[in-house]
Structure formats: C-alpha cells, structure tokens
C-alpha cells in the first residue's frame, strides 16, 4: 500500500496518531523525496479510547503501539519502528 493511501486510512480510523509523510520529519533536502515512510506526529498522544498511540516502555503484544494502529500497519504490509522513545515511524515491508 502506498504512503498517501495508508496515511488517509490511519487518519480516518485513528486521527490522534497524526500521520504525515516521513519527509516532514526530516525537512526539505534531508531525505530522498521518493523514500516512503510515515512519521506519527501524535506518537505521544492518547487516542479517544484512552490508549496511548505509542508507549515506548510498555511491554505488551504490540510492543507499545496502539492495537488499532498496529493492525492497520500489519494489514498494509508496513512495519513500525521507534526513532526514539517518543517518536514512532512506519515503513513499507
């Protein structure tokens, strides 16, 4: 699934994650424009179901990623990866 399509789906289902293209994280000229990836600007936010979008220190079945977000990424054949303890990214498998 393409980056833009996946961002639209995530925004519809779990908008608190605030997904944007990875290029927004790195800024202009710092990343190849064709590189696909997603930066979750809401990584440290809490969804309306009161579950954190990403909790780095939480050791659960989804590795601290919100279950709905984890499911969306898996179904799209993407994977998530922490950039640091408060920043979550996603990339195509």
| pLDDT, tens only, 30-42 | 555 557 899 999 9
Distance, in Å, from the CA atom of 10 to the CA atom of 2, rounded to the nearest integer, reads 12
Average pLDDT, the chain: 92
Eight-class DSSP state of 65: B
Per-residue pLDDT tens for 57-81? Answer: 998 999 999 999 999 999 999 999 9
Q: Which domain holds residue 80?
A: 3-26+35-92
Q: What is the pLDDT of residue 32?
A: 59
Residue 91 has pLDDT above 80, yes or no: yes
- Count CA atoms within 13 Å of residue 84 on its CB side: 3
% pLDDT > 90, the chain:
85
pTM beyond 0.75, yes or no: yes
Q: What is the pLDDT of residue 77?
A: 97
- Domain count of the chain? 1
């Amino acid at each position: 699934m393409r980056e833009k399509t996946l961002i639209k789906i995530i925004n519809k289902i779990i908008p608190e994650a605030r997904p944007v293209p990875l290029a927004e994280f790195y800024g202009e000229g710092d990343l190849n424009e064709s590189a696909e990836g997603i930066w979750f600007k809401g990584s440290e936010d809490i969804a309306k179901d009161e579950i954190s979008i990403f909790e780095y220190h939480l050791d659960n079945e989804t590795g601290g990623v919100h279950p709905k977000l984890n499911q969306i990424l898996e179904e799209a054949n993407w994977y998530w990866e922490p950039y640091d303890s408060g920043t979550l990214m996603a990339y195509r498998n």
